[in-house]
Amino acid sequence: MNEPSDVKQQFDSFFADRSATSKGRVFVLDLSPVKDVLGDRWEKLKQQVYLTTSDVVLHRIQPTDIHCRWDDERYLVAFGALDQARGRIKISLIAQEITQRLLGSTDQDKAIKISMATTDENGEFSWDKDAAPSKLAVEKTLPKAPIKNEQTKEKPDAVGRDGIDFVFRPLWFVKNKIISSYFCIPVRDKGDGHFLSGYDILNDPQDPHAITALDLLTMKRIHKEALALEDTKMPALLAVPIHFESIASGGRRSTLIDQCKKNLGPHRNKIVIELTNLPEGIPQSRLQDFIQILKPFSRSVMARFSSGHRDFAGFKHVGLHAVGIDLYGDRREESKIIQSLEGFVENASKLGLHTYAHGVRSISLTTAAICAGIDYVDGYAISDVHEGARDIKHYSIRMPYASKYSADEPSHE
Amino acid sequence: MVKILVIDDEELARFTIREVLESKGYSVLEAGDGEKGIEIFHSEHIDLIITDIIMPKKEGVETIIELRKEAPDLKIIAISGGGRTRNLDFLKLAGEYGANKVIAKPFSATDLLSAVQECLE
């Protein structure tokens, strides 16, 4: 931990440059839920907790950001070049990763809490060198992210763009031990450090126009990210979800195709499309239609199903590269999830399909997924793919343990 | 009496191992996952731990890493069938992270007892 005067100097400098806009950029990570879970073991294990926390923060911040451990249970992180909305996303992802690495799959009430540090009545961030940590002014909870309540049937507004952002989950090709692609996931900040994703971010999840609008927004984000990647020469692929509702109806489909041409076509070799929300029992011929529509804009097409899905007959022949599941919102006991993994993979792989799993949120699920034979497993979400440029692209089965337990490497290879 | 903790999410596996060990006079405790196993370790005096790898909540390699930090001299045997793919890489990793012995499932009672006896010597 830095000496207080060094930290004061860093934060003084930070706010001197940006005092007019500093509010909403200093976040507090509260580790007290971890302390509560560990109980008597906190004193023995807290150095490991700090190591893991610092590792995650250092890995995620940019040179324009600063951070420090404020006291026994709190870290401060200040983002120098992000607006409040992006800062909220980033700090939430940081908190999620720290929580998952320390506590594995856990309930939200046990997750690390985040809050914003505020300024005083003069609008200045005051810093008292001798102040006790408890005197740091914090808002107890993050103010709720703006959520647009109205929704129209006009495509650009139907999704309520305010508050929607995107995160990227790296997908690890287990056999080759590399990160192969980054899945773009639209999210909405709930205001408590957690995200809504998928249909949950829509005001009306049943509205097909809203779903299509969401897909179009996502494609625009992918386009932007692909352009940034071209500048960096990174070899990563980008995966974009397209919902069944966007492609099933003739009218929405033609709008979708126009946007695919504009946003995906120029980057075809870097794009993987994931079809989502396909109805159970979708005929092979229908799936083939969809794949033929989307294939010109991508290097491959994958499709997401429920973990209970078993009938994959003919899917390989119609051009589907992989089938997958999303465990992010699956709150069943891990033992039940592990059981369903094996059945899913067995049925898919015997028909020649690759398999992938999103939202694999613990080491126990990662191990089970790999031993079940899942080909692609995802990792911790990041806010921009170029942030992943600092990640090791090679990724082996040791990485989750090395990440969670920091410096504890095995004694020999 | 030597006390052995068996950590495996499969009830039948725990039952079988218990039968073998108790027939030789060992006292056996059981846990269905690594989290529960570590909890029992903290509340009982355990001489040896036999842990599976693929388990919910906290799998075997994690369990071994955490136990090793707290008890460097604890005897640990890792067992695993490797799942659907018979992937034994995690068993190998368990050895590297501190398991004294690793045994691939299925194993015989003789193999298990030999490993236990070697660890306890």
CATH of the domain at A353: 3.20.20.450
Which tokens hold the place of A210? Answer: 């809203």
User: Using CA atoms in the order A263, A267, A269, A275, what is the torsion angle rounded to 10 degrees?
Assistant: -20
Same domain, A115 and A46: yes
A196 with A52, same domain: the answer is no
pLDDT higher for A90 or A108? A90
The CA distance from B56 to the nearest CA of chain A, in Å, is 5
Residue A149 belongs to a domain: no
- The answer, yes or no, to whether ipTM is higher than 0.85 is yes
**Is residue A259 located within the same domain as residue A213?**
yes
The DSSP-derived string for A310-347 is ---TTTTTTT--EEEEE-TT--S-HHHHHHHHHHHHHH
Output the average pLDDT for chain A.
80
- Domain of residue A308, residue span: 158-382
Q: Is residue A411 part of a domain?
A: no
Q: Is residue A279 part of a domain?
A: yes
CB atoms within 10 A of CB A192: 16
Same domain, A165 and A130: no
Q: For residue A261, tell me if it sits in a domain.
A: yes
Q: Give chain B's contact residues with A (Cβ, < 8 Å).
A: 9, 33-34, 53-59, 61-62, 65, 69-70, 82-85, 87, 89-90, 93, 96-98
| Domain range list for chain B | 3-120
**A390 within some domain:** no
Judgement on whether residues A166 and A209 belong to the same structural domain of the protein? yes
Residues A118 and A165 reside in one and the same domain: no
What percentage of chain A exceeds 90 in pLDDT?
31
Region B71-83: what's the mean pLDDT? 96
Is residue A234 situated within a structural domain? yes
Q: Are A167 and A81 part of one and the same domain?
A: no
Name every chain B residue with its beta carbon within 8 A of the beta carbon of A413: 96
CB contact under 8 A, A105 and B55: no
**CB proximity A333 to B under 8 Å:** yes
Q: Are residues A100 and A189 in the same domain?
A: no
> Helix (H, G, I), strand (E, B), or coil: what is residue A122?
coil
Q: Which of A94-108, A167-181, A197-211 has the lowest mean pLDDT?
A: A94-108
Cα torsion at A47, A49, A51, A54 (round to 10°)?
Answer: -130
| C-alpha to C-alpha distance for A286 and A385, rounded to whole angstroms | 33
In chain B, which residues have their Cβ closer than 8 Å to the Cβ of A411? 96, 98
Residue A395, domain member (yes or no): no
Backbone angles phi, psi at A78, to 5 degrees: -120, 125
- Residues in chain B closer than 8 A to A368 (CB atoms): 54, 56, 59, 83
Distance from CA of B64 to the nearest CA of A (A): 11
Mutation site for B-interface testing, chosen from A360, A367, A374, A413 by largest number of B Cβ within 10 Å: A367
Are A368 and A232 contained in the same domain?
yes
Helical spans, DSSP H, in A199-249:
208-232, 244-248
A110 and A249 share one domain: no
Tell me the pLDDT band of A384, cut-offs 50, 70 and 90: confident
Contact A200/B at CB under 8 A: no
Shared domain check, A180 and A129: no
CA atoms of A120 and A134, how far apart (whole Å): 15
Contacts of B9 in chain A (CB under 8 A): 335
pLDDT category, A47, cuts 50, 70, 90? confident
User: In this complex, is the C-beta atom of A206 within 8 Å of any C-beta atom belonging to chain B?
Assistant: no
CA distance B55 to chain A (A): 6
Query: Per residue in A129-175, pLDDT tens?
Result: 344 434 444 444 444 443 333 333 333 445 556 678 888 888 888 88
Q: Do B56 and A412 touch (CB under 8 A)?
A: no
Q: Which of B57, B70, B87 sits opposite A371 (nearest CB)?
A: B87
Looking at residue A96, which CATH number applies to its domain?
Answer: 3.30.70.270
pLDDT tens per residue, range A252-283: 899 999 999 999 999 999 999 999 989 888 88
A335 touches chain B (CB under 8 A): yes
Count of domains forming chain A: 2
In this structure, which CATH number among 3.50.50.60, 3.30.420.40, 2.40.50.140, 3.40.50.2300 belongs to the domain B3-120? 3.40.50.2300
Average pLDDT score over residue span A72-79: 89
Place of tokens 């003919």: A314
Q: Which of A104, A401, A405 sits opposite B57 (nearest CB)?
A: A104
Same domain, A288 and A220: yes
Q: Is B56–A346 a contact, with Cβ atoms under 8 angstroms apart?
A: no
